[in-house]
Structure 1
């Protein structure tokens, strides 16, 4: 059995969670990087055991096809860029086409909360009330999911993680302006709202399960939630682990159209309406609570919040 997998975005939060798990199960990992192969990120991946090639998404198919032809599966994790929001769809389509040409049989795609679910539960008009980059990002995921479903692979799985627990740690905590400096998390979310959270490691666990049992996970759209907490409870847990007083403050939705961070908060605030830990538990994959996550990441918590 060929146990070779191509991984996109290998130095991202999810890539670094997934790669060691696959290597421990004797999978061979191939990937590309925009960095010079002697750079620290590239050297780190090589030290993990990743077979790395320097390339961009626009590189010739003569570079990608020989790599993909060594693999039977691919993990896709594409990310929107502020400078060219529509390019994510183009990159995804190109990778799907190249994967088909190379004979890839299984694809696992790390998507996000579905467009239809957000539109249905969003507190207002989703298109007109959020920042364009947020709307385009969710649209891109919908386009990518449809492209994958229609591509004709033997097996595909779509994973949709909730709000990353890692978002509360450096360097991602900067997405919450003022939180680290003032100790106040400000979002347009009611404190009565239960927010679905997920550890990136749990998404990696699902990906590994799907790679090992493609028939069971074929055609599945899986919402992954490890914990459900109110904003105040999240801050209380961070305070306990960091030793610093942190609190939550609900703010008005005003300005959401002009601020991607506020818009993102509105999206997160409605995710609990259609994503739940109970649903995720049905797959029998071990999940990580926020308390457990913070305990495992205690050094990172203190580095983020203790001055």
Structure 2
């Protein structure tokens, strides 16, 4: 089954198609053949602007993790030999602070439908029952529907294609490096939940998110590789949204005081 025939996704792609074609028509008198590519970039910026509240939640989640770090480390040390009690104490700590260990994952998940829609715009020959006019648009002579891997496999890789993809991949990788160095806070590792005991204890467990957070910190680098496999239009989206993320986090971090010293939380935790 074609996932783009699933009604919610089909409607999302049709909405994205209307948006991109409308923006492209508006820009065409000024930008000519670059209008569709620029329309994808403009759409990305508009979507990310709408998702600014999600970015705010991510920055605040980072501040919370930084502030709770000493308490979490203390609990891990204090209850090292009592893993079930430690899990309960960690859950209580998150609850007291009205925080969620999953908050930092939200921005990544929120963008997935948009990326899926942009990808669908340049792989489907028909959208909404009519021919997909976007498939005929190019940038520097490269179809927005093609990919680096496709060009390489068909022997159609040109100097122009190599240059365009090199710029995109290097841009994503450089931005990823800055993001990881400047924006990724050290997060205390949360031990994995122990295996259930024979007494059938069903106390809530704190999920082990250390691996998840480490993986998310490398996502921008994986994005650079992913950009080689998707249509060029989707690669433009990835480069734009990655750059936006860095700029947004820098601005929000300054506005919300993410780099300011956090209140001392080294007081002993309650037994």
Please say whether Structure 1 and Structure 2 have the same fold, judged by a TM-score greater than 0.5. no
Higher helix share: 2
TM-score by length of 2: 0.27
Q: Which has the higher contact order (CA 8 A, sep 6+)?
A: 2
Larger Rg computed on CA atoms: 2
